[in-house]
Amino acid sequence: MSDLQKPPSTDCEHMLARVHEFLDHELDTASSDEIRAHLAACEPCLDQFDVEQAVRSLVNRCCGGDKAPSALRTKVLGQLAAAQATAHAQQA
Ligand SMILES: [Zn+2]
């Protein structure tokens, strides 16, 4: 059985599904290396990872280093989107 020809999108889904665990340092060394190697080679995943990391550091600043509850994360993302929408409306 060869894994060499599997489509990249399958790989990306697999990686992105684990990005949160990676950021929380919940993965073993081998899995972390796998994700790091993929991010180094895959620009769309690296973009996605940057967004996750930005949200994470924002939440960490607000909550003193606790893990981000998903409700808070959703709220932060929602406020970012609302702020962007307001900025666009004011420019018009
Ligand atoms: Zn990827």
The residue range of the domain holding 38 is 8-91
How many structural domains does the chain have?
Answer: 1
In a domain? residue 52:
yes
The tens digit of pLDDT for each residue in 9-51 reads 788 998 989 998 998 899 999 999 999 999 999 999 999 999 8
CA of 11 to the centre of ligand 1 (A): 6
Digit-coded pLDDT (tens) for 42-61: 999 999 999 889 888 888 77
3 falls within a domain: no
Rounded CA-CA distance 37/78 in Å is 31
54 CA to centre of ligand 1 in angstroms: 18
On the question of pLDDT at 81 being above 80, the answer is yes
Measured in Å, residue 65 CA sits from the centre of ligand 1 at 28
Interacting residues of 51 by C-beta distance below 8 A, sequence separation 6+: none
**Position 2 in a domain:** no
Q: How confident is the model at residue 79 (pLDDT cuts 50, 70, 90)?
A: confident
3-state class of 89 per DSSP? helix
The amino acid sitting at 43 is E
What does the alpha-carbon distance between residue 68 and residue 57 come to, in Å, rounded to a whole number?
A: 9
CA–CA dist 28, 21 (Å, integer): 10
